[in-house]
Amino acid sequence: MSLDSLDMASATRSQSLATSDRLSGPSVPAPAPVLVRGESLDSLVIVGEAGEALTALTSGALGEGYLNSVKLCYLDPPYNTGERFAYYDDRQGSHDWLEALRGNLLKLRPLLAADASVWLHLDDSEQHRARVVLDEVFGREAFVATVIWQKRLTRDNRTAFSSMHDYIHVYAPGGPRAWKKVRNGLADDGAFSNPDNDPRGPWRSAPMTVQAGHATASQFYTVVTPTGTRHEPPAGRCWTFTAERLAQLDRDGRVYWPRGGEGKPRLKRYECESEGLAPFTIWGASEVGDTSVAKKSLMRQFPGHAAFDTPKPVALLERIVQIATDPGDLVLDYYLGSGTTAVASQALGRRWVGVERNADVVEAFVLPRLGATFEDGSHGGYGLARVR
């Protein structure tokens, strides 16, 4: 199925969209979008320039419902490595590259939900300068973390240092504290058990001491265990809770006293109350794959095409989507490449919009990859649009 034949098939629908009064509202001049196929506009592949697609989404030219709605924006732009890849040229003056980044991030802002996060994936070529742009666009207080992703395991002896990682800068316009309340923790498959038949179900215990640095006087006291053993907090540490709070937790059955009631108190953490684990800032290839895993998988799937050089592993995108969104939320990627963000989002039941300027890449990789995902019939369709 070629993009051109889809273009023809949808001429009538495109015209009605183009003449729609949705286009007349905003002051931003919207490029004329062509809706090529629209079984469902829940999810959409847009062939075109990122900036023009963002303007079209903001203006309503591609349908209502995108403003203030994007919960996750994952961006994997050309890094400005100075290389020429099979499907895109990655050579630009640093100033121009940064201006393009800034311009698109500014256009992205009105599309973001209040509790959104933006994940910008880069290498050492521009990441440090891009951080400054992110600070400018979203505010320094919006910075959440930089994730280090182990992108390769093999050594490159041609270089002074063999770089094996990328950076993923995470910003939440609402700020990290507010975002922590909506983001999902990682699955907590730690060993829970229920040796005392606790009615709250399986639990595991955690120490009840913390570093003394920020302690108040009420966190230093002698704990007397159920068997009468006395414990002071270890050197340099204090009890997590005041004596009153410890007594309250104990009455509530939430304290475990090891060694038959002689040991230091430990807090029972219940499986049913677990909010998941805070993600670490270093993600290894063994957990989420590396570039070669992603590339080999695409080459196996598409043996007839020149390899797409820089795909990301589906497992990496699945982790990001899982942390940053819930089912039904909207994910945006305006450097879609081979379509990994769309594939991961679709598999996890999220809505998504992906923008890619190279129609050959969309035709060779994105559409077939999505076709495979949709074939089992359990997912809705997706729309396909061109922005010129």
Ligand X SMILES: C[S@@+](CC[C@H](N)C(=O)[O-])C[C@H]1O[C@@H](n2cnc3c(N)ncnc32)[C@H](O)[C@@H]1O
Binding site for ligand X (CB under 6 A): 49-50, 76-78, 87-88, 308, 310-312, 334-335, 337-338, 340, 355-358, 361
Please, are residues 170 and 145 in contact by the beta-carbon 8 Å criterion? Answer: yes
In whole angstroms, the minimum distance from the beta carbon of 101 to ligand X comes to 10
Closer residue to ligand X in complex, CB, 322/338: 338
Please, are residues 345 and 326 in contact by the beta-carbon 8 Å criterion? Answer: no
Closer residue to ligand X in complex, CB, 16/301: 301
Strand pairing class (143-150; 282-283): parallel
- Report the distance separating Cα 170 and Cα 145, nearest Å: 5
Closer residue to ligand X in complex, CB, 94/227: 94
89: Cβ contacts below 8 Å, ≥ 6 apart? 78
Strands (E), 248-377: 255-256, 266-270, 282-283, 330-333, 351-356
φ, ψ for residue 335 (rounded to 5)? -130, 65
In whole angstroms, the minimum distance from the beta carbon of 12 to ligand X comes to 27
Report DSSP state, residue 138.
Answer: H
In whole angstroms, the minimum distance from the beta carbon of 273 to ligand X comes to 36
- Report the distance separating Cα 203 and Cα 244, nearest Å: 23
Partners of 118 in the beta sheet?
73, 171
Closer residue to ligand X in complex, CB, 71/312: 312
Which of 381, 277, 337 lies closest to 88, judged by CA? 337
In whole angstroms, the minimum distance from the beta carbon of 76 to ligand X comes to 4
Closer residue to ligand X in complex, CB, 133/355: 355
366: Cβ contacts below 8 Å, ≥ 6 apart? 45, 336, 338, 339, 342, 354, 356
Please, are residues 308 and 298 in contact by the beta-carbon 8 Å criterion? Answer: yes
In whole angstroms, the minimum distance from the beta carbon of 386 to ligand X comes to 12
In whole angstroms, the minimum distance from the beta carbon of 222 to ligand X comes to 57
In whole angstroms, the minimum distance from the beta carbon of 72 to ligand X comes to 14
Report DSSP state, residue 241.
Answer: S
How far is CA 27 from each of CA 21, 22, 189, 388, rounded to the nearest angstrom? 13, 12, 51, 18
Residue nearest to ligand X (CB): 337
Look up residue 83 and give its two tokens: 């290389």
Closer residue to ligand X in complex, CB, 208/332: 332
In whole angstroms, the minimum distance from the beta carbon of 313 to ligand X comes to 8
Closer residue to ligand X in complex, CB, 36/50: 50
Please, are residues 54 and 357 in contact by the beta-carbon 8 Å criterion? Answer: no
Strand pairing class (33-38; 44-47): unpaired
Closer residue to ligand X in complex, CB, 81/274: 81
Closer residue to ligand X in complex, CB, 171/308: 308
In whole angstroms, the minimum distance from the beta carbon of 49 to ligand X comes to 5
